[in-house]
């Protein structure tokens, strides 16, 4: 692409599916620009679907003019517009100041040339005009195009990581996602910020939000390894960090499609955190209860489950060893050794269902109470092991077990 040709660049924007409903509503005279990662990805030959816009002027009026569903974020005067199945994040061009390191910024309206230098990395500090006299005109911070061509991540000023330490996590995330190298001076600034305790100036919830985004990358094992390479994991907790990428990849390969890769890699990274401290760490990082419990379970029980699965041969023994464990825990246990048993459970055994239920046992004369559950468990074990091949055989196994003395 000829970056000097606004017409060609605008045609590339116009070809984006997400741009069509937007451009139909942009006033030719409006100071509206596509900005940030979407510009970066477009210049790299991609077709971004998440479009961020910056407006020189009244961003809230522009957002309302689009006619979609508007969600306003009061803290920074930004909004998200849902329109024709696409989401657009809209912000007014602004400058930022920080009352102290790690604080949320104070913002003031500004021109586009003041907005771009406040961003995290040079390759994200570019904008394409969507209106005005020359749609498609490219604006870029110093070194932005040079760094994009070199596939390099560079901060825009030396205090960047001190002003906003969450940029350290974004550095790891972009390096992983884009495959870009970290510019040496930027790497040194990151190391200095971490060593100087920059993360202590930021709330746990903000750090946790960045950690969750990192773990949800397309290659979460590599993303967490990148966190380790920067020393960010140990800055969260001395025992936190993904030490064995190969182990993570074995677990991810076992994990079923309905499993959560982010939970698995975070659990593996949490295995070095002492068990009594792990729930508190995840609470400080503002993990939701379901995620916290799944991560704690996989981190603290994987070795024990691996031992139980290693001694299980029959399908019913595998099912008994798993005993309702979440998929992430089973996959991690399998990665530690008993891969065959874990795979058999995740791919086949957990989907086996009985043709009978408790009502059938009641109709057969089994009284309500623990005997019902005992009978159904026995029937399922028989079906898993191939001893109950139809509904009648399931019922026979269930009634026999229900009427036997509890073990």
Give the end-to-end CA distance of the chain in Å, rounded to a whole number. 74
In a domain, 71, yes or no: yes
32 and 122 belong to one structural domain: yes
Sequence-distant (6+) residues with CB within 8 A of 51 are 16, 18, 19, 22, 34, 38, 86, 88, 89
Residue range 236-255, pLDDT digits in tens: 999 999 999 999 999 999 99
What is the Cα Rg of the chain in Å? Answer: 27
Residue 1: band (very low, low, confident or very high) from pLDDT cuts 50, 70, 90: very low
> Do 176 and 41 share a structural domain?
no
Higher pLDDT, 78 or 199: 199
Residue 2 pLDDT more than 60? no
What pLDDT was estimated at residue 407?
60
Q: Is the dihedral of CA 233, 337, 383, 402 positive or negative?
A: negative
25 and 85 share one domain: yes
Decide which of 285 and 131 is more confident: 285
Per-residue pLDDT tens over the stretch 248-293: 999 999 998 889 999 999 999 999 999 999 999 999 999 999 999 9
Q: Which of 149, 183, 218 is the last residue of a domain?
A: 149
Give me the pLDDT at residue 72, please.
85
**Which residues lie below 8 Å from residue 94, measured CB to CB, with a gap of 6+?**
76, 77, 107, 108, 109, 110, 114, 115, 118
Between 91-95, 221-225, 369-373, the lowest mean confidence (pLDDT) is in 91-95
pLDDT digits (tens, 9 = 90+) for 165-192: 999 999 999 999 999 999 999 999 999 9
Cα separation of 71 and 242, whole Å?
Answer: 37
Among 319, 221, 207, 311, CA closest to 263: 221
Q: What is the pLDDT of residue 186?
A: 98
Residues 188 and 99 in one domain: no
**Residue 93 and residue 166 in one domain:** no
The residue out of 351, 366, 386 marking a domain boundary is 351
Torsions phi, psi for 54 (to 5 deg): -120, 140
> What distance in Å separates the CA atoms of residue 314 and residue 146, rounded to the nearest whole number?
61
pLDDT digits (tens, 9 = 90+) for 100-129: 877 777 777 778 999 999 999 999 999 999
Among 233, 258, 286, which residue terminates a domain?
Answer: 286
pLDDT above 90 coverage of the chain, percent? 79
| Whether 264 contacts 355, CB under 8 Å | no
What are the pLDDT digits (tens) for 325-379? 999 999 999 999 999 999 999 999 999 999 999 999 999 999 999 999 999 999 9
In a domain, 296, yes or no: no
> Is 192 inside a domain boundary?
yes
Task: Kindly state whether residue 165 falls inside one of the protein's structural domains.
Answer: yes
**Whether 19 and 69 share a structural domain:** yes
* DSSP 8-state assignment for residue 76: G
Are 278 and 395 part of one and the same domain? no
Quick one: pLDDT at residue 342? 97
Could you list the residue range(s) of the whole structural domain that residue 239 is in? 160-286
Provide the angle, in degrees to the nearest 10, between the axes of the packed helices 327-335 and 261-269. 50
- The arithmetic mean of pLDDT across residues 203-228, rounded, is 95
pLDDT of residue 75: 62
pLDDT at 170: 96
pLDDT in tens, 8-46: 999 999 999 999 988 888 876 668 999 999 999 999 999
The predicted pLDDT at position 29 comes to 60
**Residue 154, domain member (yes or no):** no
Do 16 and 133 lie in one domain? The reply is yes
Count of domains forming the chain? 4
Q: Which of 157, 144, 21, 35 is nearest to 92 (CA)?
A: 35
Rounded mean pLDDT, 142-150: 96
**Rounded CA separation 250/334 (Å):** 8
Cα 395 versus chain centre, distance: 45
**Residue 65 shares a structural domain with residue 82:** yes
**Residues 229 and 123 both lie in one domain:** no
Residues 137 and 198 in one domain: no
Sign of CA dihedral 290, 246, 209, 51: negative
The CATH number covering residue 88 comes to 3.30.460.10
Q: Are 166 and 206 in contact (CB under 8 A)?
A: yes
Interatomic CA distance for residues 73 and 250, integer angstroms:
41
| Residue 106 vs residues 109, 232, 281: alpha-carbon distances, Å | 11, 26, 29
- Residue 293, in any domain of the structure: no
The residue behind tokens 């451009």 is 23
How far from chain centre, in Å, is Cα 55? 29
Residues 32, 137, single domain; the answer is yes
C-alpha 146: how far from chain center = 30
At 239 the pLDDT is 97
Would the pTM count as exceeding 0.85?
yes
CA–CA separation, 147 vs 158, rounded Å? Answer: 17
Specify if 323 maps to a domain: yes
């Amino acid at each position: 692409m000829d970056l000097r040709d606004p017409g060609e660049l605008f045609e590339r924007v116009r070809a984006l599916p997400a741009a069509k409903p937007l451009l139909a509503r942009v006033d030719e005279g409006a100071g509206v620009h596509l900005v940030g990662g979407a510009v970066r990805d477009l210049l790299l030959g991609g077709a971004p679907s998440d479009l961020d816009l910056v407006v020189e002027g009244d961003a809230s009026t522009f957002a309302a003019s689009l006619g979609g569903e508007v969600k306003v974020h009061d803290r920074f005067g930004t909004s998200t517009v849902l329109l024709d199945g696409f989401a657009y994040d809209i912000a007014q061009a602004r400058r930022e100041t920080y009352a102290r390191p790690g604080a949320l910024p104070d913002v003031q309206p500004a021109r586009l040339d003041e907005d771009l230098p406040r961003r995290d990395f040079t390759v994200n500090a570019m904008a394409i005009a969507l209106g005005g006299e020359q749609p498609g005109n490219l604006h870029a911070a110093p070194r932005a195009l040079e760094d994009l061509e070199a596939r390099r991540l560079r901060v825009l000023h030396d205090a960047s990581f001190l002003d906003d330490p969450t940029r350290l996590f974004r550095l790891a995330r972009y390096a992983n996602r884009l495959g870009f190298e970290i510019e040496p001076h930027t790497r040194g600034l990151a190391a200095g910020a971490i060593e100087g305790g920059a993360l202590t100036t930021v709330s746990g919830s903000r750090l946790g939000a960045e950690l969750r985004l990192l773990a949800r990358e397309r290659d979460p094992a590599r993303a967490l390894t990148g966190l380790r390479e920067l020393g960010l994991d140990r800055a969260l907790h001395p025992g936190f960090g993904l030490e064995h990428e190969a182990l993570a990849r074995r677990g991810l390969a076992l994990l079923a499609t309905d499993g959560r890769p982010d939970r698995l890699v975070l659990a593996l990274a949490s295995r070095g955190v002492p068990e009594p401290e792990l729930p508190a760490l995840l609470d400080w990082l503002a993990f939701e209860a379901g995620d916290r419990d799944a991560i704690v379970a996989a981190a603290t029980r994987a070795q024990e489950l691996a031992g139980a699965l290693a001694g299980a041969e029959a399908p019913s023994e595998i099912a008994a060893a798993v005993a309702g464990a979440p998929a992430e825990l089973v996959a991690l246990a399998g990665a530690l050794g008993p891969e065959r048993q874990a795979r058999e459970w995740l791919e086949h055994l957990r989907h086996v269902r009985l043709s009978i239920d408790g009502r059938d046992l009641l109709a057969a004369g089994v009284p309500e109470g623990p005997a019902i559950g005992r009978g159904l468990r026995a029937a399922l074990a028989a079906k898993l092991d191939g001893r109950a091949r139809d509904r009648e055989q399931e019922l026979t196994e269930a009634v026999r077990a229900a009427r036997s003395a509890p073990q």
